[in-house]
A and B are shown apart, each in its own frame.
Chain A
Amino acid sequence: MLRYLGKRFLLILPTIFVPLILVFLLLRLSPGDPAGMMLGDQATAEQIAALRNQLGLDQPIWIQFLLWLKGIVTLDLGNSIFFREPVMQIIPRYAGVTILLAVVALALAVLIGVSLGLVSAMNRNRPIDRGVVTAAVLGISLPEFWFALLLIFIFAVTLRWFPVAGYNPPTAGIIAFGATIFLPALALGVRQSALMTRMMRSSMLDVLNEPYITTARAQGLPESTVIGRYAMRTAAMPVITVAGLSAGYLLGGAVTIEIIFALPGLGRMLVEAVGRRDYPLVEGGVLTISLVLAVLNLTIDLIYAILDPRIRYQ
Chain B
Amino acid sequence: MTAHITPMPAETVSPAPAPRTVLEVENLSLSFRNADGLLPIVTDVSFAIAEGEAVALVGESGCGKSITASAIMGIAPDNAEIGGTITLNGKVISNLSPRERRKLCGRHMGFIFQEPMTALHPTLSIGRQMTDTLKHNLGLGHAKATNRAAELLDRVGIPRARDILEGYVHELSGGMRQRVMIALAISCGPSLIIADEPTTALDVTIQAQVLDLLEDMRRELNLAMLFITHDLEVVGDFCEKAVVMYAGDVVERGFSADIVRTPAHPYARGLIDAVPAHDDGRTRLTPILGTVPPVGQWPEGCRFAPRCTRADATCRTRPSLKRHGLTEARCWHPLEGRP
Contact = CB atoms under 8 A, between A and B. Distances in A.
Interface string B292-336: 000000000000000000000000000000000000000000000
Q: List the 6 shortest-distance A-B pairs measured between CB atoms, nearest first.
A: A220-B106, A218-B111, A220-B105, A211-B119, A219-B106, A219-B133
Nearest to B181: A215
Contacts of B70: 214
Given A210-B118, A214-B75, A220-B105, A225 B123 contact: no
A262 B285 CA distance: 81
The residue among A220, A223, A230 with the most chain B CB atoms within 10 A of its own CB is A220
B125 interface: yes
Contacts, number: 85
B121 interface: yes
The residue among A215, A216, A219, A225 with the most chain B CB atoms within 10 A of its own CB is A219
A307 interface: yes
B153 to A, nearest CB: 16
A206 interface: no
Nearest to A223: B102
9 contacts: A215-B113, A216-B121, A219-B105, A219-B111, A219-B184, A221-B133, A221-B136, A230-B124, A233-B124
A225 B107 contact: no
Contacts of A234: 121-123
Interface in B153-211: 168, 170, 181, 184, 187-188
A56 interface: no
The residue among B123, B168, B188 with the most chain A CB atoms within 10 A of its own CB is B123
Interface string A201-227: 000000000111011111111110100
B105 A218 contact: yes
A220 B187 CA distance: 12
B106 A230 contact: no
Given A220-B104, A230-B124, A212 B118 contact: yes
B221 to A, nearest CB: 17
Contacts of B73: 218
B123 A219 contact: no
A217 B105 contact: yes
A140 to B, nearest CB: 29
B75 A307 contact: no
B113 A310 contact: no
Interface in B250-297: none
A103 to B, nearest CB: 27
B137 interface: yes
Given A220-B188, A221-B133, A225-B136, A215 B119 contact: yes
Chain A binding surface SS class: helix
B184 A310 contact: no
B119 to A, nearest CB: 4
B119 A212 contact: yes
B120 interface: yes
A43 B120 CA distance: 75
A228 to B, nearest CB: 12
B123 A309 contact: yes
A229 interface: yes
B132 A221 contact: yes
A272 interface: no
B120 A212 contact: yes
Nearest to B190: A220
B4 interface: no
B98 to A, nearest CB: 9
The residue among B113, B119, B181, B187 with the most chain A CB atoms within 10 A of its own CB is B119
B123 A233 contact: yes
Given A234-B122, A307-B123, A218 B75 contact: yes
Interface of B: 70, 73, 75, 102-107, 109-111, 113, 115, 118-125, 129, 132-133, 136-137, 168, 170, 181, 184, 187-188
A186 B160 CA distance: 52
A229 B132 contact: yes
A222 B133 CA distance: 10
A212 B181 CA distance: 11
Given A214-B113, A215-B120, A308-B123, A220 B170 contact: no
Contact of A215 (B103, B109, B184): B184
The residue among A210, A211, A230 with the most chain B CB atoms within 10 A of its own CB is A211
Contacts of B136: 220-222, 225
Interface in A292-314: 307-310
Given A214-B113, A310-B168, A220 B123 contact: no
B124 A215 contact: no
Given A307-B123, A309-B125, A211 B170 contact: no
Contacts of B115: 211
A212 B122 contact: yes
Nearest to B106: A220
B121 A230 contact: yes
A222 B98 CA distance: 11
Nearest to A237: B123
Contacts of A229: 124, 132
Contacts of A230: 121, 124
Contact of A211 (B102, B104, B118, B137): B118
A211 B129 CA distance: 14
Given A217-B75, A219-B105, A219-B184, A211 B133 contact: no
A234 B122 CA distance: 8
Contact of A220 (B118, B137, B181): B137
A4 B75 CA distance: 39
B144 to A, nearest CB: 17
Nearest to A215: B119
Given A215-B181, A230-B121, 7 more contacts: A214-B119, A218-B106, A219-B132, A219-B187, A220-B107, A222-B136, A225-B132
